[in-house]
C-alpha cells in the first residue's frame, strides 16, 4: 500500500507510554507541497504523532517512509529501535520543527540561533551560514533584531525566529506543534502570516493547531484526531460541513470556536 509519490508516509504508527496508547496504529501520507492541519482535543496524541515523524519519539510499531524509503528504525528481536544516531540526525535535519514554546537558544543572538543549524549540523562556513540566516530573518521580517538575545523579544517575534531557524536548514517538511498557542491573541496574526508566506512558497507542512483560521485558509486537508486515532479527514470544506454531523467533532469545534 506504499504511496510512491508521498514525501512522508506513516504506516500503522503506534506509540505507547506504559499502558497508555498515545498513537494507535495511524496511517498517513503527505505529498510534496501539501499542507495538512491536525486538530483534536488535548491529549489526543497530536504532539506525539508529530514527534514520531521527527524521531523525537521512538515508536513501538509501524513503518515510516521518507521519499519512498523505509527509514529511521532497525528491528531487533522483533522490537523496533531507532537507527544509529548519524542516520537519525540526517533525517531530522531534513524535517524542520517549530514548538509551542519556541525553545530558542537563549545564549545565542537571534542571528546565532538561525545560523546554528547550517553552521553546526550542515557544517557550512560562518560566512555562508550568516548569509543564509540573514536571508531567513529577512523572510520573517526580523532583520533589525538580528543582534539581540531572544530574552528581549515578544512571543510573536520569538516564534518567527524559531521558524527562521527551522527553515534555515532548507527542510523538505515542516512540522508545527501549536505554534500560536502560547501567544497573546494580538501576536497570533504575525506568526500566522509568516507560516502562510511559507506555505505560499510551496513548503510541505503538517500543522497541529486550535486556530481554525489555519485550517480554513491554509489546509489542503484537515484531520481530526482523538484518543490516538484519526476520527475524520477531508478538505476544509468537507471537514467543516460534514464534521457538524459527527457528534464528537461538533462538540470539539463548539468548544474551540
Residues forming the site for Mg ion (CB under 5 A): 47
In this structure, are residues 97 and 178 in contact, taking their beta carbons and an 8 Å threshold? Answer: no
Of 255, 152, 145, 162, the closest CA to residue 210 belongs to: 255
CB 28 to other proteins: min, Å:
19
Q: How far apart are CA 171 and CA 149, in angstroms?
A: 25
In this structure, are residues 113 and 159 in contact, taking their beta carbons and an 8 Å threshold? Answer: no
44 binds, among Mg ion, other proteins, ligand ADP, none (CB under 5 to 8 A by kind): ligand ADP
* Of residues 47 and 54, the one with the C-beta less far from Mg ion: 47
CB 47 to ligand ADP: min, Å:
3
* Of residues 80 and 108, the one with the C-beta less far from other proteins: 108
190 is a site residue for other proteins (CB under 8 A): no
Q: Which stretch binds other proteins (CB under 8 A): 7-15, 70-78, 144-152, 229-237?
A: 144-152
Q: Which stretch binds other proteins (CB under 8 A): 130-138, 158-166, 204-212, 243-251?
A: 158-166
Other beta carbons within 10 Å of 74? 11
120 is a site residue for other proteins (CB under 8 A): yes
* Of residues 139 and 211, the one with the C-beta less far from Mg ion: 211
Cell of 236: 476544509
Three-state SS at 4: coil
Q: Which residues within the stretch 37-96 sit at the binding site for other proteins (CB under 8 A)?
A: 54, 56, 85-86, 89-90, 92-96
Indicate the angle between helix axes 155-167 and 126-139, nearest 10 degrees: 130
Other beta carbons within 10 Å of 234? 16
Residue 167 to residues 132, 185, 242, 257: CA-CA distances in angstroms? 10, 24, 35, 31
- Per CB under 8 A, residues contacting other proteins are 54, 56, 85-86, 89-90, 92-97, 99, 101, 103-108, 116-117, 120-121, 149-152, 162, 165-166, 169
Amino acid at each position: 500500500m506504499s504511496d510512491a509519490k508521498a514525501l512522508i508516509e506513516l504506516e500503522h504508527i503506534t506509540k505507547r507510554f506504559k499502558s497508555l496508547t498515545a498513537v494507535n496504529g495511524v496511517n498517513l501520507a503527505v505529498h510534496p507541497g501539501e499542507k495538512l492541519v491536525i486538530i483534536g482535543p488535548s491529549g489526543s496524541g497530536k504532539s506525539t504523532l508529530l514527534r514520531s515523524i521527527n524521531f523525537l519519539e521512538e515508536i513501538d510499531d509501524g513503518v515510516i517512509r521518507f521519499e519512498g524509503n523505509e527509514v529511521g528504525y532497525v528491528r531487533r528481536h522483533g522490537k523496533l529501535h531507532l537507527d544509529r544516531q548519524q542516520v537519525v540526525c540526517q533525517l531530522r535535519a531534513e524535517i524542520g520543527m517549530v514548538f509551542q514554546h519556541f525553545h530558542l537558544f537563549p545564549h545565542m543572538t537571534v542571528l546565532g540561533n538561525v545560523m546554528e543549524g547550517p553552521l553546526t549540523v550542515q557544517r557550512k562556513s560562518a560566512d555562508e551560514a550568516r548569509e543564509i540566516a540573514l536571508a531567513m530573518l529577512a523572510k520573517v521580517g526580523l532583520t533589525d533584531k538580528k543582534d539581540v538575545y531572544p530574552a528581549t523579544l515578544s512571543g510573536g517575534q520569538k516564534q518567527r525566529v524559531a521558524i527562521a531557524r527551522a527553515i534555515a536548514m532548507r527542510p523538505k517538511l515542516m512540522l508545527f506543534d501549536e505554534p500560536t498557542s502560547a501567544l497573546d491573541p494580538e501576536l497570533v496574526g504575525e506568526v500566522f502570516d509568516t507560516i502562510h508566506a511559507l506555505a505560499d512558497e510551496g513548503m510541505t507542512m503538517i500543522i497541529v493547531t486550535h486556530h481554525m483560521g489555519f485550517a480554513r485558509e491554509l489546509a489542503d486537508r484537515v484531520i481530526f484526531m482523538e484518543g490516538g486515532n484519526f476520527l475524520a479527514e477531508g478538505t476544509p470544506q468537507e471537514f467543516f460541513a460534514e464534521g457538524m454531523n459527527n457528534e464528537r467533532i461538533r462538540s470539539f469545534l463548539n468548544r474551540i470556536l
